[in-house]
Amino acid sequence: MNDSVSNPVLSVDTVVKRFGKTVAVNGISLDIRENEFFALLGPSGCGKTTLLRMIAGFEVPDGGSIRLGDRDITHDAPEKRPLNLMFQSYALFPHMTVWQNLAYGLEMESLPRGEIATRVDDMLKTTDLSALASRKPTELSGGQKQRVALARALIKRPKVLLLDEPLGALDKKLREKMQLELKRLQHEVGITFIIVTHDQEEALVMADRVAVLKDGSILQCGTPQEVYERPANRFVAGFIGAMNFIDGEIGPDALFRAGGEALACDLDGLQRNARAVLAIRPENITLKPAGSGIAGTVVDVAYHGLDRQLYVKTALSPAPLQVRVAATGPGVAAAQTGATVSLAFDAAACRLFQE
Amino acid sequence: MADALRIKLTGRAILVLVFGFLYLPIAVLVLLSFNDSGLPTSWSGFSLRWYVSLAGNSDILHAAWNTLIVAVVATIIATILGTMLAIGMETRKRRSTPLEALAFAPMVIPDIVLAVALLTLFSRLNVAMGLHTIIVSHVIFDLAFVCSVVRARLKNFDFSIVEASRDLGASSFTTFWRVTFPVLLPAIVAGALLAFTLSVDEFIIAFFTAGAGRASITLPMQIYSMIRFGITPEINALATIVMGVSATVLLISQWLNKEQMTR
Amino acid sequence: MSSQTARSNLMALPAIAWLGLFMIVPCVIVFAYAFLTRGLYGGVEYTLTSDNFLRVIDPLYAKIFLTSVRIAGLATLFAILIAYPAAYAICLAPKRAQPMLLFFAVLPFWSNYLIRTYAWIVLLNREGLINNLLRWLGYDGEPLSLLYSEGAVIVGLVYNYLPFVILAIYSSLSRLNGELVEASRDLGAGRIRTFWRVTLPLTMPGVAAGGVFIFVLSIGNFVTPALLGGGRFQMIGNLVYDQFLTANDWPFGAALGMVLIAVMVTLLLLQARASARFSGETAEAKNG
């Protein structure tokens, strides 16, 4: 999955990393654009953090190269790379105040004291931390620590900012707020962000582009809309968002058949007369008047505020299908547990996969 | 409710008894050291005369001076070696069982065995024994204790701050002096203080490795020979001073350890 | 990764060298001495023999060995009987007070061993505080000879090593999951049955660690028997001392030292294995 980009700010070329016998990163190539908000998304152990640490310089690749602009940084020490990492644990220096934490990176550049002071004060203002300047990290809340860690990395004005699960330690409410905050800040400072996350929602909300990783390889790379609406394979389809999977087969007539039903879907070059899996999202199934679509029985209803998630048992699959209906949509009133309903699939939103 | 109260009171009573057992004998010594008559039979008034007579005892002053030299030098060497050992052990990717055993052994080996082993070594090598051989020997257990205190701190040390420092542009040398060392410092000092008190109080190994004669006699050796002669009020005074110094040093060490834990 | 390991090893190297040179090498020499013959004038002769180890089981020395085991065993028993309730009582104290209580329980342990032993001479001798106290209470017989007895040696050992035993038992008591005790009560076991069936078995590793510690240090002790036993109670430690400093039979002293080391290593290994198996069992219970 190597989509070429003209003038990438960072390019990773067939990078390999092994730990003993396990291959953590298996020949990944990536091009990151200037000012892009890029997300590396995947379950734990997929190699995303190892890839990030190789970009930062904490692991040396066993093969391949990493270039920053036109400079090969594959073997440069971390302190020699003009990019910075925001650590998952924040890694704030416990013996220094917030101010000293921010100044540290600038002191390493041997800048004049006056300039350091101005830049630290400016950054404290930007990140709304001025009031906390003389506090030690233990005297900060989780959200405040997160902001200090971000400010400490940004103050170096890196070409690329790497963020390792930056919101992982925050609670849900704060996380949602910080997602937007990070996105706003990225626009403001105009720095390329590469974020590592296992939270697909976080990646979809914040990133301009997402790479989905599994077992050390990139399965799909594209905009959030692309990976959500046109997942490249069954894993991506299941990993991002809720998805119904129906096992069946493609007949000679190009129709997908399962449980006695035949559905017309975009074959996308798949083999006929072979087994296949149909994937459809809960919001792409609609309730129909009884008798006009796929018959099913509601086995459970989950309340989600604005909408309801119905679990409908049909002949298509052993597991009930998830169906998302608006609380005010047609037929909702009838959709009680035990009710008989009829379903219609949005054919354009169906995806077929063959193993 | 009555049950809970009874348990609470029983707990308190046990604490009083155990702490009484631990501290009363020491308290008696301290009290006697201020007794004018110096005898346990009767209290004849508060007096500092036994402390004054200590100050005039050149044997004791000589031994105290030797002890100070031994403890300070052994502590310095042991603190450097023990801290390095602790960092080495905690930054390894995998635990090494032989290394664990080696670092643990000085804390459990019977001191009489270590003492005769060192005596054998030094006489085998024809080394003239004196303060230097005591120092060499004390470093063995001192470094093990420093190592264990520093390792305890390293166990909840977030190594990502070391990486963060590198990421922010610091070399590994700068990172050590500006990040790792300051964060470990309270534990290193706590370990050094512990090593110091252990060295000040150590008797058997010093006894075997001091060589003949009185030249390199240490305070515990002096106390031992005084005790063998019998109870004297001077020993009470000396014991009070030695215990007071130990307790103070240990309190500082404990306070440092607590400070760093809350940081 | 390998460069990291190399750096770690380099950091550990000076200490390893020091311990190797001044702890391992001397112990190896002593081990070798144990198989050599005593020289005519106190040195060693390079004639290999196992006589030194055979002498250890000679009735004269075997008796000393058994005395040592008995004294160390009794000291261990009494220390555990005192330390367990003490550690339990510390656990019952308010959470905030526990670190301080523990610190003051252990504080004497780090202070001068000789002085703590000496304190008991002051208390126990014929003109000592306890005899005075008895007289004050109306006792007018002969002063009791408390000092220079096996009991005095045991009291001294218990007193000196008790803090560590408390520490060891406390650390396993405080790690005990309070919910287990509550679960047992919930399942109908009374306070006492809960203690015997849940609390005590789960804290045995702490008891074992503290017990092994005091036993090993007691059996090799030389100061306490010399001062509180008045030389009447020879223990292995005193025997080693004598062979090196008075009898000048270094090979035999070396053999005795090796016996001490063997006892120590055996007990430590047994304890390590027992607690490893124990933690394995609890892990299984958690998974099952």
- DSSP string spanning A195-236? EEES-HHHHHHH-SEEEEEETTEEEEEE-HHHHHHS-SSHHH
Chain C hits for B106, CB-CB cut-off 8 Å, are 19, 23
Tell which of C114, C124, C136, C218 to mutate to test the B interface (max B CBs under 10 Å). C114
Q: Check whether C182 has a pLDDT greater than 80.
A: no
Chain B hits for A108, CB-CB cut-off 8 Å, are 168-170, 174
- DSSP code for B41: S
Closest residue in C to B12 (Cα) is: C89
Q: Is residue B214 part of a domain?
A: yes
**What is the least distance, in Å, from the CA of A105 to any CA of chain B?**
5
pTM: predicted TM-score of the whole model, two decimal places: 0.82
Chain A hits for B168, CB-CB cut-off 8 Å, are 79, 84, 104-105, 108, 152-153, 156
Place domain A10-236 in its CATH homologous superfamily. Answer: P-loop containing nucleotide triphosphate hydrolases (3.40.50.300)
pLDDT at residue C272 in the model: 83
Please choose, from the candidates A306, A273, A280, A294, the residue with its C-alpha nearest in 3D space to the C-alpha of residue A344: A294
**What is the least distance, in Å, from the CA of B167 to any CA of chain A?**
5
pLDDT at residue B7 in the model: 82
Burial class (CB in 10 A: 0-12, 13-18, 19+), A241: middle
In degrees, rounded to 5, the angle at the alpha carbon of residue C221 between the alpha carbons of residues C215 and C226 is 140
List of residues 6+ apart from C194 with CB closer than 8 A: C181, C184, C185
The structural domains of chain A, with segments of one domain joined by +, span 10-236, 243-353
Please state, as a whole number, how many other Cβ atoms lie within 10 Å of the Cβ of residue B130: 16
Q: Please count the helices (runs of H) and the strands (runs of E) in chain C.
A: 14, 2
pLDDT at residue A10 in the model: 94
The amino acid sitting at B146 is V
Q: Check whether C20 has a pLDDT greater than 80.
A: yes
Q: Check whether C282 has a pLDDT greater than 60.
A: no
- Chains within contact range of chain A (3+ C-beta pairs < 8 Å): B
In degrees, rounded to 5, the angle at the alpha carbon of residue A131 between the alpha carbons of residues A126 and A133 is 85
- Topology of domain C59-287 in CATH is MetI-like fold (1.10.3720)
Residue among B164, B168, B183 minimizing CB distance to A95: B183
C-proximal residues of B, 118-157, CB under 8 Å:
118-121, 124, 136-137, 139-140, 143-144, 147
**C287 interfacial to chain B (CB closer than 8 Å):** no
* Kind and range of the H or E run holding C87: helix C59-92
Q: Identify the top-confidence range among A67-76, A328-337, B221-230, C235-244.
A: A67-76
Lowest mean pLDDT among B123-132, C213-222, C232-241: C232-241
pLDDT at residue B254 in the model: 83
* pLDDT (tens digit per residue) in C185-215: 777 777 778 888 888 888 888 899 899 989 9
Paired strand residues for A31? A11
Contact (CB<8Å) C132/B82: no
Residue B89 belongs to domain with CATH number: 1.10.3720.10
Q: Check whether C42 has a pLDDT greater than 60.
A: yes
pLDDT at residue B163 in the model: 93
Contact (CB<8Å) B110/C220: yes
Contact (CB<8Å) B223/C118: yes
Residue, of B214 and A129, whose pLDDT is higher: A129
Domains held by chain B: number: 1
Q: Is residue B2 part of a domain?
A: no
Contact (CB<8Å) C27/B117: yes
Is A241:A227 a contact under the CB 8 Å cutoff?
Answer: no
CA–CA gap between residue C265 and residue B109 (Å, rounded): 9
- DSSP code for A6: S
Closest residue in B to C18 (Cα) is: B140
CA–CA gap between residue A322 and residue A326 (Å, rounded): 13
Give the domain range for residue B86.
52-261
- Rounded mean pLDDT, B88-97: 87
Chain C hits for B208, CB-CB cut-off 8 Å, are 244-245
Q: How many CB pairs under 8 A join B and C?
A: 239
Helix locations, chain B, DSSP H: 2-33, 49-55, 58-91, 97-108, 111-124, 131-155, 160-167, 172-175, 181-201, 204-209, 219-229, 233-261
CA–CA gap between residue A210 and residue A200 (Å, rounded): 9
Q: What is the pLDDT along chain A (355 residues), one digit of tens a residue?
A: 445 567 889 999 999 999 888 899 999 999 999 999 999 999 988 999 999 999 999 999 999 999 998 899 999 999 999 999 999 999 999 999 999 999 999 999 999 999 999 999 999 998 889 999 999 999 999 889 999 999 999 999 999 999 999 888 788 888 888 888 888 888 888 899 999 999 998 999 999 999 999 999 999 999 999 999 999 989 999 998 889 999 988 888 888 888 888 888 877 778 888 888 999 999 898 887 767 788 888 899 888 888 888 899 988 888 899 998 887 766 666 678 888 888 888 888 888 888 7
Q: How many CB pairs under 8 A join A and B?
A: 66
Q: Which tokens in the block code for residue B49? A: 């005369």
What pLDDT band is residue C286 in, cutting at 50, 70 and 90? very low
Chain B hits for A123, CB-CB cut-off 8 Å, are none
Please state, as a whole number, how many other Cβ atoms lie within 10 Å of the Cβ of residue C193: 12
Residue among A89, A95, A156 minimizing CB distance to B160: A89
Q: Which tokens in the block code for residue C240? A: 């080693």
Contact (CB<8Å) A92/B161: yes
Residue among C99, C120, C132 minimizing CB distance to B40: C132
Closest residue in C to B95 (Cα) is: C5
**C166 interfacial to chain B (CB closer than 8 Å):** yes
- Rounded mean pLDDT, C22-49: 85
Q: Which CATH class is domain A243-353?
A: mainly beta
**C250-287 and C236-245 helices, crossing angle to 10°:** 150
**A95 interfacial to chain B (CB closer than 8 Å):** yes
* pLDDT (tens digit per residue) in B180-207: 999 999 899 999 999 999 999 899 999 9
**B176 interfacial to chain C (CB closer than 8 Å):** no
pLDDT at residue C81 in the model: 95
Q: Is residue B13 part of a domain?
A: no
pLDDT at residue B180 in the model: 92
- Rounded mean pLDDT, C240-253: 87
CA–CA gap between residue A84 and residue A79 (Å, rounded): 9
Please choose, from the candidates A52, A79, A75, A78, the residue with its C-alpha nearest in 3D space to the C-alpha of residue A63: A75
**B248 interfacial to chain C (CB closer than 8 Å):** no
**C266 interfacial to chain B (CB closer than 8 Å):** no
**B67 interfacial to chain C (CB closer than 8 Å):** no
* pLDDT (tens digit per residue) in C149-168: 888 999 999 999 999 999 99
